[in-house]
Amino acid sequence: MSAINDTLFRPSAICPTPDDRERFLDMSRRMIRTQNVLFVSMLLLLVPGVVATYKPLAAAVGLVTVAVQAVLSRLATRFPRPELTFAASMVIALAGMTAAIVLAGREHSGDLAILIWPAVTVYTRVPKRIAHAFTALTAGLMVTVQLAFDPHAVAAHPLAPCAILVALLSTGLIAAAVRESDIRHRRESILDELTGLLNRNALGTRIAELRAQSRLADGGIGLILADLDHFKAVNDRHGHGRGDAVLRAVSERMGGCLRAYDSLYRIGGEELAVLVPGAGQDELAELAERLRAAVASEPLAGLEVTISIGAARSRPDAELAWSELFHAADRALYRAKASGRDRVEIEP
């Protein structure tokens, strides 16, 4: 992958694919109001008690931790890899709150239950295996600070620490189940049922991400629009079942020509779209021709099939203007159709 494309999407353990990053950003936006309510509630309900009960240093550590967490949560989406900022904020929250509780000498008071908050928050944003690891870290801290400072208190009243661990585990598992359900429903809403490709809804989400990332990158975004030639005649002569088989076969053939960071969408009927991040004009034209030739190279679903292609590229030094890019590629596609089909036209 080129440096430009690496800037457009830089994977991480939390978001290994663009789809994971899109979901993370969407969840972050949805959580803003909830986080605001949470921080205000903490301010109103916890701060008076912390100031009155905790030692000055412990109170300061706790309040600074909450403030840092609030700021990082608000700023996370401004970074190229926002999930890493989020992860850092959760580690800071866990470490800072634990330190405040230990400095106040309240590790046996039930105050450790506040650590359930960062653990559950992690479950809403990151893959299950990472959330499980964070929960295990949280449980380990809870047990360690209690045993390290007063193991006799734990032995005398084992139900209290066990109850907190059960609460941590149960809320984490519930949050994980909710996240998995959300992912499944999102997947169903962004996939085309016939071809298994991403659909127009997914394209809109991807464009929003590319628009934000184009401010950080110096490479343009290429768009290829492909339309099956005489597809109505296929349905009329051979039936819709054969037409569906042709669509699936074309999708598979085109998908096999793409790079790992290109994405293929069915945006309606017999029209397909390919997003090509960081492609130069020559590279875009070469890929478009390769797609056209691959479809025409041999029969698909028992029929000779061709496609017409229009392609355009956004300016590399400007923020992505999606409507202009789409209309430019659509104009090129119209020229390809008008010029006899089974050809590629590139918008200059």
**pLDDT on residue 212:** 67
Question: DSSP string spanning 47-106?
Answer: HHHHHHHS-HHHHHHHHHHHHHHHHHHHHGGGSSSHHHHHHHHHHHHHHHHHHHHHHTT-
Question: What's the rounded mean pLDDT across residues 174-196?
Answer: 79
Listed in sequence order, the residues at least 6 apart from 58 whose beta carbon sits closer than 8 Å to its beta carbon are: 50, 99, 100, 101, 103, 104
Listed in sequence order, the residues at least 6 apart from 42 whose beta carbon sits closer than 8 Å to its beta carbon are: 66
At the topology level, CATH places domain 200-346 in Alpha-Beta Plaits (3.30.70)
- Confidence band of 6 (pLDDT split at 50, 70, 90): very low
| Per-residue tokens: 202 | 């997914």
Answer yes or no: is pLDDT of 7 > 60.
no
Answer yes or no: is pLDDT of 95 > 90.
yes
Give the pairing of strands 344-346 and 307-313: parallel
- Measured on CA atoms in the order 125, 127, 128, 134, is the torsion positive or negative? negative
Domain parsing of the chain, residue ranges:
13-190, 200-346
Report the distance separating Cα 332 and Cα 315, nearest Å.
17
Answer yes or no: is pLDDT of 188 > 70.
no
User: Distance of CA 164 to CAs 36, 98, 127, 143, 235, Å?
Assistant: 25, 14, 24, 10, 62
Residue 236 Cα to chain centre, angstroms: 41
Question: What's the rounded mean pLDDT across residues 102-107?
Answer: 84
Predicted TM-score of the model (pTM):
0.55
Question: What's the rounded mean pLDDT across residues 221-245?
Answer: 93
Which amino acid does the sequence have at 281? Q
User: DSSP secondary-structure letter at 214?
Assistant: T
**pLDDT on residue 248:** 94
The answer to whether 179 and 124 have CB atoms below 8 angstroms apart is yes
153-157, 187-191, 317-321: least confident range? 317-321
| Per-residue tokens: 220 | 């343009």
Question: What's the rounded mean pLDDT across residues 53-74?
Answer: 83
Answer yes or no: is pLDDT of 193 > 50.
yes
**pLDDT on residue 8:** 47
The answer to whether 333 and 225 have CB atoms below 8 angstroms apart is yes
Answer yes or no: is pLDDT of 228 > 60.
yes
Question: What's the rounded mean pLDDT across residues 263-291?
Answer: 91
Average pLDDT of the chain to the nearest whole number: 84
Of 20 and 297, which is predicted with more confidence?
Answer: 297
Listed in sequence order, the residues at least 6 apart from 206 whose beta carbon sits closer than 8 Å to its beta carbon are: 18, 22, 198, 263, 275
Residue 325 Cα to chain centre, angstroms: 23
